[in-house]
Amino acid sequence: MTARDDTGAPVPVRGPVRGPVRRVVSLVPSLTESLAATAPGLLVGATDWCSHPAGLDVVRVRGTKNPDLDAIRALEPDLVVGNTEENRASDVEALRKSGVPVWMTEITTVDGALASLRRMLTEGCGLPAPGWLDDAARAWAAVRPGPLRRAIVPVWRRPWMVAGRDTFAGDVLARLGVANVHAGHAERYPKIPLDELNAAGADLVVLPDEPYRFTADDGPEAFPGLPAALVGGRHLTWYGPSLAEAPAVLARELAGALG
């Protein structure tokens, strides 16, 4: 059987010829957590950055941007799962050319994440839709944002980089009543000088702990006079089981910064 992933690419999946999917390698921490929470026995490989669930005992295949393709092939996976933002097209193509089926997700919104994960798990892996997906959908459907705030959302410093257009984090914040100041930028993750960031007219700066690990002592001092919300990157940027608790957790963190 053949299905199509989020990019429209054909992916050979389970069926009478190939049999069920039994061995999966994940190249994205969010997808690793999603699979582990749904069918933990399916995972045989994951990146070095896949930190959830704690104690995950699978073969590590380096990072999202530099996966060990030989190690992945040696695991003989029925399916490799990845994401167009996190993984390089050249690595995906190399795996496919060597006969390894790859399912790519493409996620920029909460609704898109819920639909994409459902398809990956049910169509790509042949699993029943997990309960945590329904929990996440209900949690986000119940969100009632407060007064609109405008925020700068840095993702890196030295140089300063922020979330720009069409980002998952931007959609998450928008649903909570926080508009990304740079949502209209031509780039998705533009580099912007600090003086321009401070002149952007924001009400708030949102500082996640990944990919750059902003802390109370590393980040807020660059934005004098601006409330700083230190938030967990897993709730702001991950799409998976954390989506179910993300609205409540992020709402508390944002409210704590705004007072």
Set out the domains of the chain in order of their start, with CATH numbers: 2-129 (3.40.50.1980), 145-258 (3.40.50.1980)
pLDDT at 2: 86
**Using CB atoms within 10 A of its CB, is residue 125 exposed (0-12), middle (13-18) or buried (19+)?**
buried
> Which amino acid, 225?
G
Residue 135 is predicted with a pLDDT of 97
What CA–CA distance (Å, rounded) separates 58 from 5?
Answer: 24
Q: What is the pLDDT of residue 15?
A: 53
Contact in structure between 63 and 86 (CB atoms under 8 Å): no
257 Cβ contact partners less than 8 Å away, ≥ 6 residues apart:
204, 227, 228, 229, 230
Closest alpha carbon to 29 in 43, 9, 10: 43
| Closest-CA residue to 175 (of 83, 127, 111) | 111
- Confidence at residue 18, expressed as pLDDT on a 0 to 100 scale: 53
Position 94 scores a pLDDT of 98
Q: What is the pLDDT along the chain (259 residues), one digit of tens a residue?
A: 789 999 999 998 765 445 578 999 999 999 999 999 999 899 999 999 999 999 999 999 999 999 999 999 999 999 999 999 999 999 999 999 999 999 999 999 999 999 999 999 999 999 999 999 999 999 999 999 878 999 999 999 999 999 999 999 999 999 999 999 999 999 999 999 999 999 999 999 999 999 999 999 999 999 999 999 999 999 999 999 999 999 999 999 999 998 7
pLDDT at residue 14, rounded to an integer: 63
